[in-house]
């Protein structure tokens, strides 16, 4: 890799060490691989000095350069789309019109002049710009994908603004109904390739790629290269490793480098932060080298890989258009990146795999199996009250685009009533526009007045309560106020977003002139222009927001109406993400849905709703149980259910159901439903069961041989299970977690659920909580402890802690560790106080205090708070509470009366109860651990 500056020679050598771990050790970085530091582009003066004795070399070089005459063709190189023989169309333009008008009656049974004029206008622009073939190619592979059972998203990006795309079935949201603009998709005054990105279900995306290869030729289709670059964090770690800088030092730097809006802060900016200023000021030569070389290499390409979505299609052999490279088993890919391909005039497509679509397919399959209903999501009621009620309560876990904590809070305040509300929230929920969410909510509910700088603005802003939310609104306002066409308005919007001062001045003059012609005062027009500039920079594409809000509503509708099936499908999709699975199981409880352990008689490979109130764990989710074992179990029970552990061993294929598989099944609880023997008995009987199955198989073979195969059944006597005590709850849960990765039938924290709910100010899954960066209290179970020495040779510790919802790393610096280390033991339940931080999406707590869970009641609790359901609470329950009470204690009992999950009233009981763990245990026995809390001041 040539370098651009001579002084980068050592940095280049470091890069070679990063890329080739086989190079010699740390002390080798100054031994340049190429001998001398000459691998850089030299200036003409440097070359003249080097070749002073060969002037002819310069003349020859110039002569060769002058004889070179290459013109790179950037014209569009579209693959040929074959018109079907049954069509009467003779050109691509005619065939596009044929398909468009064929879709008109289906999409718009009542055709108005506005619709017909829009169709005619769009077709004219598309055909005039030469993009008929492009739309036909896209339409074709979408239709074929649907025929092959691949779910396609309702739209993505600006393409949702095209009525022609809607009529062709490329998008599935009505552009006219939702005020989406064609010019945002294709600007007739700015010739550039249309860009239609398509979402496919992620488990079937390859089906579409295979179809495209079959249609246009294997040699005409390839994936696209992408380059992984060295971010500040990555390059510091790589360079530090090569230089031999201690990992602890590297981590102390990289952990403090923030990620802002998805981008890792650059080294030069990070060193200005208070927490990292010491790095730049350090006299340590190793640190100086680290920063010097890392800063030089930052942003350079570290590796190449295949773009996750990009596909290029050429008119002929792709080798004739672009250089290729082979990456492992991923097939051929272009050496040009996405942008380079576009500049070369080649057709590139984004075939995106969207997990949400696969989840929808899974949900619909379960609905059909459980209820016999084939749901068509494009025909559901978009004004469904049950769905909006659920959204308004913030119950959006697993709802596409709307599941974050802050979004849930916003929805609870907004109380959305139609799709326009969801479109707006989807657009507003991003840095910049997010600050307008409170104003948007207040205006919707009439708490704040809707005001317009000029009445002409109401037409464009009425649906968003006078707030500019979308790029399309900027375009519409520019058109309404200045009289520009929408195409011109789109060009102005783009210029505003780029903040080119010279261009902005020209645009402002034109805008003001147009406004004056429309009888708008100069001062008012200037005020509007400044407002448009502000919003043009972060206004969102309504077409994209609309399509994704439509998809979000479909997932919300499924969750509201078929909750168990929907959550089961999500669990299957997230089987490798422990935190998400725990969140989904907890969400199921909110809807009174049980997540049952694996069951040899009912489970399939994946999670499955067996009815409206129960989800059963998938067998493939058990560690140590492979797909062959799952298939054997399902096949063996087709004739009849298993009746015992020995029956299971006898009927399943012993080649795949071995000791390891049986241990995993028992530990997971997969035999619990048989109700014959507890887990410890079954575990102890594994060898006996395997031997029983083997001997019974041999007897069957011998019997068939003796009696000519006529004796089909013999009475088989099963051995008795050993008489031994069951595992303790702790042992049972530990074994369960070992094979399922989490606790399912219980949790070591369960007896302390009231403590977690009452004393924790931050639950460990709330990574978007407003408490991040602030002092917090967290209760949890210590799962691992890692210690090391800091730069001063003092012990520090990194302790993993989990609650019911998630996990966090608790950091103990040396002083904190000295003070609290005696409380740090694996499986200990503690409360920690400290400052929360979010680093690379991982929650961390810098600990200041540790309190054993047993000591939290006297320290924080002032009384008990009990939630009771007005329809299910009994007088017996109240009598049981009275028996626990004594008059001498001054702690109160507060009862909250709940209906449909909402508190309707509350009262204090005249009785008083000792504030102890014993009282807590007694109350949880009566009312359940989820309904008991402490009053905390």
Residue 759 has pLDDT above 80, yes or no: yes
- The SS3 of residue 888 is coil
Helix (H) or strand (E) holding 338: helix 338-343
Residue 459 confidence (pLDDT): 94
pLDDT level of residue 203 (50, 70, 90 thresholds): very high
pLDDT digits (tens, 9 = 90+) for 374-399: 999 999 999 999 999 999 999 999 99
Residue 705 has pLDDT above 50, yes or no: no
For residue 561, what are the CA distances in angstroms to 283, 288, 466, 469? 65, 61, 34, 31
What span, in angstroms and rounded, lies between the C-alpha atoms of 602 and 86?
Answer: 50
pLDDT, mean of residues 114-121: 96
pLDDT, mean of residues 691-704: 68
* Percent of the chain predicted with pLDDT > 90: 58
Residue 660 confidence (pLDDT): 96
- In DSSP terms, which residues pair with 788 in a beta bridge? 796
Exposed, middle or buried by CB within 10 Å (0-12, 13-18, 19+), for 424? buried
Please identify which residue in the block is written with the tokens 């201690």.
246
Among 232-236, 571-575, 777-781, the least confident range: 232-236
pLDDT, mean of residues 658-683: 96
pLDDT digits (tens, 9 = 90+) for 633-647: 999 999 899 999 999
Among 290-299, 345-354, 457-466, 900-909, the least confident range: 900-909
pLDDT digits (tens, 9 = 90+) for 31-58: 777 777 777 888 888 888 888 888 888 8
Residues with Cβ within 8 Å of 178's Cβ and at least 6 positions away in sequence, in order, are 419, 420, 423, 542, 546
Residue 898 confidence (pLDDT): 56
Residue 713 confidence (pLDDT): 52
Rg of the Cα atoms in the chain: 34
Please state whether beta strands 332-334 and 221-229 pair in parallel, antiparallel, or not at all (unpaired).
parallel
Residue 26 confidence (pLDDT): 47
Residue 587 confidence (pLDDT): 93
pLDDT level of residue 680 (50, 70, 90 thresholds): very high
pLDDT level of residue 700 (50, 70, 90 thresholds): low
Residue 264 has φ and ψ, to the nearest 5°, of -75, 130
Its CATH architecture, for the domain 747-937, is Beta Barrel (2.40)
Q: Which residue has the higher pLDDT, 81 or 709?
A: 81
pLDDT, mean of residues 753-782: 90
Nearest-10 Cα torsion for 437, 440, 444, 449: 140
Residue 260 has φ and ψ, to the nearest 5°, of -115, 120
Q: Which residue has the higher pLDDT, 461 or 716?
A: 461
Residue 2 confidence (pLDDT): 45
What span, in angstroms and rounded, lies between the C-alpha atoms of 374 and 443?
Answer: 40
Residue 197 has φ and ψ, to the nearest 5°, of -95, 140
pLDDT level of residue 878 (50, 70, 90 thresholds): low
pLDDT, mean of residues 919-930: 85
pLDDT, mean of residues 170-186: 95
**Which spans in 539-658 are helix H?**
542-561, 563-573, 578-590, 627-636, 645-651
Domain with CATH 2.40.50.140 in the chain: 747-937
Concatenated DSSP letters of 85-147 = TT----SHHHHHHHHHHHTHHHH-SS--HHHHHHHHHHHHHHHHTT-HHHHHHHHHHHHHHHH
Residues with Cβ within 8 Å of 411's Cβ and at least 6 positions away in sequence, in order, are 391, 392, 394, 396, 402, 425
pLDDT digits (tens, 9 = 90+) for 835-861: 998 876 789 999 999 999 999 999 998
pLDDT level of residue 703 (50, 70, 90 thresholds): very low
Residue 769 has pLDDT above 90, yes or no: no
- The SS3 of residue 859 is helix
Whether the CB-CB separation of 749 and 778 falls below 8 Å is answered with no
What span, in angstroms and rounded, lies between the C-alpha atoms of 709 and 82?
Answer: 62
Please state whether beta strands 775-789 and 608-611 pair in parallel, antiparallel, or not at all (unpaired).
unpaired
What span, in angstroms and rounded, lies between the C-alpha atoms of 553 and 401?
Answer: 10
Q: Give the length of the chain.
A: 937
Residue 32 confidence (pLDDT): 72
Compute the mean pLDDT over every residue in the chain, rounded to the nearest whole number: 88
pLDDT, mean of residues 18-30: 61
Residue 1 has pLDDT above 60, yes or no: no
Residue 450 confidence (pLDDT): 95
Whether the CB-CB separation of 908 and 893 falls below 8 Å is answered with yes
Residue 905 confidence (pLDDT): 56
Residue 461 confidence (pLDDT): 95
Structure tokens at 164: 């022609």
Residue 593 confidence (pLDDT): 96
pLDDT level of residue 533 (50, 70, 90 thresholds): confident
pLDDT, mean of residues 746-772: 89
Residue 453 has pLDDT above 50, yes or no: yes
Residue 347 has pLDDT above 50, yes or no: yes
Residue 488 confidence (pLDDT): 86
Residue 873 confidence (pLDDT): 62
pLDDT level of residue 736 (50, 70, 90 thresholds): very high
**Closest Cα partner for 649 from 620, 671, 627, 680?**
671
What span, in angstroms and rounded, lies between the C-alpha atoms of 395 and 590?
Answer: 9
Highest mean pLDDT among 250-254, 373-377, 650-654: 373-377
Q: Which residue has the higher pLDDT, 505 or 515?
A: 515
CA atoms within 13 A on the CB side of 836: 26
Residue 896 confidence (pLDDT): 64
What span, in angstroms and rounded, lies between the C-alpha atoms of 212 and 206?
Answer: 10
Residue 7 has pLDDT above 90, yes or no: no
Residue 505 confidence (pLDDT): 81
Whether the CB-CB separation of 187 and 486 falls below 8 Å is answered with no
Question: Angle of helix 729-740 relative to helix 659-668, nearest 10 degrees?
Answer: 120
pLDDT, mean of residues 166-180: 97
Question: Angle of helix 471-482 relative to helix 486-498, nearest 10 degrees?
Answer: 120
Q: Which residue has the higher pLDDT, 139 or 696?
A: 139
Residue 582 has pLDDT above 70, yes or no: yes
Residue 200 has φ and ψ, to the nearest 5°, of -120, 155
Could you give the maximum distance between any two Cα atoms of the chain, in Å? 110
Report the 3 state secondary structure along 222-268: EEEEEEEECCHHHHHHHHHHHHCCCHHHHHHHHCCCCEECCEECCHH
Residue 822 has pLDDT above 90, yes or no: yes
């Amino acid at each position: 890799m040539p370098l651009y500056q001579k002084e980068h020679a050592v940095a280049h050598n470091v890069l070679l060490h990063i890329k080739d771990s086989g190079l010699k050790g740390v002390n080798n970085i100054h031994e340049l691989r190429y001998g001398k530091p000459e691998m850089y582009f030299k200036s003409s003066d440097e070359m003249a000095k080097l070749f002073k004795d060969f002037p002819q070399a310069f003349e020859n070089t110039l002569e060769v350069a002058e004889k070179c005459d290459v013109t790179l063709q950037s014209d569009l190189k579209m693959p040929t789309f074959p018109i079907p023989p049954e069509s009467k169309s003779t050109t691509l333009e005619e065939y596009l019109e044929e398909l468009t008008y064929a879709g008109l009656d289906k999409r718009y049974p009542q055709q108005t002049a506005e619709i017909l004029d829009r169709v005619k206008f769009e077709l004219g622009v598309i055909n005039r710009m030469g993009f008929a073939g492009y739309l036909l190619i896209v339409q074709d592979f979408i239709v074929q994908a649907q025929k092959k059972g691949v779910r396609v998203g309702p739209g993505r990006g600006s393409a949702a603004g095209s009525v022609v795309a809607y009529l062709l079935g490329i998008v599935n949201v009505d552009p006219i109904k939702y005020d989406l603009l064609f010019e945002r998709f294709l600007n007739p005054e700015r010739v550039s390739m249309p860009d239609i990105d398509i979402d496919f279900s992620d488990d079937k995306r390859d089906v579409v790629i295979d179809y495209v290869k079959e249609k246009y030729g294997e040699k005409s289709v390839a994936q696209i290269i992408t380059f992984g670059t060295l971010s500040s964090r990555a390059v510091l770690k790589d360079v530090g490793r090569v230089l031999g800088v201690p990992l602890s030092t590297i981590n102390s730097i990289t952990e403090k480098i923030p990620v802002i809006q998805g981008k890792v802060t650059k080294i030069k900016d990070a060193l200005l932060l208070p927490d990292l200023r010491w790095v730049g000021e350090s006299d340590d030569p190793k640190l100086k080298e680290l920063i010097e070389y890392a800063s030089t290499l930052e942003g350079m390409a570290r590796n190449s890989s295949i773009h996750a979505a990009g596909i290029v299609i050429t008119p002929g052999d792709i080798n004739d258009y672009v250089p290729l490279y082979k990456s492992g088993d991923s097939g051929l890919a272009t050496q040009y990146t996405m942008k380079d391909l576009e500049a070369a005039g080649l057709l590139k497509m984004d075939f995106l795999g969207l997990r949400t679509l696969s989840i929808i397919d899974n949900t619909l399959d379960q609905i059909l199996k459980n209820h016999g209903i084939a749901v068509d999501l494009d025909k559901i009621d978009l004004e469904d009250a049950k769905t909006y009620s659920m959204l308004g309560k913030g119950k959006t876990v697993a709802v596409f685009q709307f599941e974050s904590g802050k979004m849930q809070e916003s929805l609870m305040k907004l109380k959305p009533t139609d799709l326009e509300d969801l479109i707006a929230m989807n657009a507003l929920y991003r840095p910049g526009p997010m600050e307008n969410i409170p104003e948007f909510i207040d205006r919707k509910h009439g708490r704040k007045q809707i005001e317009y700088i000029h009445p002409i603005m109401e037409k464009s802003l009425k649906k968003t309560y006078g707030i500019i939310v979308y790029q399309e609104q900027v375009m519409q306002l520019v058109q309404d106020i200045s009289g520009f066409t929408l195409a011109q308005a789109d060009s102005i919007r783009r210029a505003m977003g780029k903040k080119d001062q010279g261009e902005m001045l020209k645009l402002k003059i034109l805008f003001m002139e147009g406004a004056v012609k429309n009888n708008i005062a100069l001062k008012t027009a200037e005020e509007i222009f400044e407002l448009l500039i502000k919003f043009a920079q972060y206004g969102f594409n309504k077409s994209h927001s609309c399509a994704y809000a439509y998809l979000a509503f479909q997932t919300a509708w499924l969750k509201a109406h078929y909750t168990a099936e929907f959550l089961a499908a999500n669990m299957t999709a997230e089987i490798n993400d422990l935190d998400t699975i725990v969140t989904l199981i907890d969400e199921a409880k909110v809807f009174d849905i049980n997540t049952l352990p694996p069951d040899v008689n009912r489970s399939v490979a994946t999670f499955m709703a067996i009815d409206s109130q129960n989800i059963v764990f998938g067998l493939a989710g058990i560690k140590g149980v492979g797909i062959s074992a799952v298939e054997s179990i399902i096949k063996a029970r087709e004739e009849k259910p298993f009746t015992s552990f020995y029956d299971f061993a006898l009927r399943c294929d012993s080649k795949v159901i071995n000791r390891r598989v049986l241990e995993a099944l028992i530990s997971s609880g997969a035999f619990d439903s048989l109700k014959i023997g507890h887990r410890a008995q079954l575990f102890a009987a594994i060898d006996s069961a395997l031997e029983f199955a083997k001997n019974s198989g041999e007897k069957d073979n011998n019997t068939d041989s003796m009696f000519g195969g006529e004796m089909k059944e013999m009475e088989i006597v099963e051995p008795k299970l050993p008489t031994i005590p069951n595992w303790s709850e702790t042992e049972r849960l530990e074994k369960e977690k070992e094979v399922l990765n989490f606790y399912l039938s219980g949790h070591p924290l369960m007896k302390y659920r009231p403590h977690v709910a009452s004393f924790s100010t931050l639950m460990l899954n709330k990574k978007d909580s407003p408490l991040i960066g602030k002092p917090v209290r967290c209760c949890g179970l210590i799962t691992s402890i890692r210690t090391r020495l800091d730069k001063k040779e003092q012990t520090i510790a990194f302790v993993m802690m989990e609650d019911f919802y998630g996990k966090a790393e608790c950091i103990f610096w040396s002083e904190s560790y000295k003070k609290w280390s005696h409380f740090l033991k694996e499986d200990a339940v503690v409360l920690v106080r400290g400052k929360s931080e979010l680093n690379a999406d991982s929650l961390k707590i810098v600990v200041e205090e540790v309190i054993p869970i047993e000591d939290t009641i006297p320290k924080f609790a002032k009384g008990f708070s009990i939630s009771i359901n007005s329809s299910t609470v009994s007088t017996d329950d109240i009598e049981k509470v009275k028996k626990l009470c004594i008059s001498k204690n001054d702690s109160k009992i507060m009862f909250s009366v709940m209906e449909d999950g909402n508190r309707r009233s509350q009262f204090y009981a005249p009785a008083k109860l000792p504030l102890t763990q014993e009282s807590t245990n007694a109350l949880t026995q009566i009312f359940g651990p989820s309904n008991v809390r402490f009053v905390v001041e």
